[in-house]
Copies of this chain bind each other. A is one copy, B any other.
Amino acid sequence: MSDRMVGRLSVYRRLLTGLRAESVQNVYSHQLARMAGCTAAQVRRDLMAVGYTGTPTRGYDVLGLTESIGRYLDPPEHQHVAIVGVGNLGRAILAFFANRRPKLSIVAAFDSDPAKVNRVIHGCRSYPIDQLAEVVAREKILVGIITVPAPEAQKVADLLANAGVRGILNFAPVAIHVRDRVYVEDMDITVSLERVAFFARQDKHSGKEMVK
């Protein structure tokens, strides 16, 4: 299971949820492909991998496929996330994810600024950073989001990894190093914006969209 495929499955599911809201019952691979920005063959291969089969006449059943992707992508039980750094970006992410996914929710926020802790921000409790290990263990948090300034990112990554977190989504503009068992994904807005600016100046480019 490649990281790209997991990303596409996540996109398919969102599209399927939208179709269900419109009472659409069946969908063909080429329809999903057009909406997701990939090819029909890629959709079919991905769905094959999650073990869901369609039929030539009706394509894929929207409800059944949604559930099948959910069994694949979703945690068996509710999965808890922590966010470290309650600045502008941290608060934006808290607002964005508030009550969005039933099985994946941010249950704790941490900051080193005393003015930002022991509060409830967009429905999420905030704690002093030195309570991180304790809260991560108590709340069974497996995923951490880093939204602190670059100079503090590595320190925070070490705290999270030592507390038992197994996945990190890093927004700090710096590469962090953790032990091999921790999955790290960097979302570097500066790098992305520089890349878009670079290709915006090129007359020709691949033209394909990048799903991060």
Contact = CB atoms under 8 A, between A and B. Distances in A.
Given A189-B96, A201-B142, A196 B169 contact: yes
Nearest to A79: B197
Given A6-B199, A37-B175, A88-B92, A97 B143 contact: no
A11 B209 CA distance: 21
Contact of A186 (B143, B173, B188, B211): B211
B209 A184 contact: yes
Most B CB contacts (10 A, CB to CB) among A167, A176, A207, A212 go to: A212
A89 to B, nearest CB: 4
Interface string A182-194: 0111111111111
A183 B35 CA distance: 17
Interface in A153-212: 165-169, 173-177, 180-181, 183-202, 205-207, 209-212
Contact of A188 (B87, B194, B212): B212
A100 interface: yes
A166 B200 contact: yes
A176 to B, nearest CB: 8
**The 9 nearest A-B residue pairs measured at CB:** A167-B200, A88-B92, A166-B200, A183-B199, A167-B196, A212-B212, A89-B92, A92-B92, A180-B207
15 contacts: A3-B206, A6-B194, A6-B195, A6-B199, A36-B175, A37-B177, A73-B194, A79-B197, A81-B197, A88-B96, A97-B193, A167-B200, A186-B209, A187-B187, A191-B211
Given A143-B200, A186-B211, 17 more contacts: A3-B210, A7-B191, A7-B192, A10-B195, A79-B197, A87-B92, A104-B193, A104-B194, A143-B197, A145-B193, A175-B209, A183-B202, A186-B209, A186-B210, A187-B187, A187-B189, A188-B212
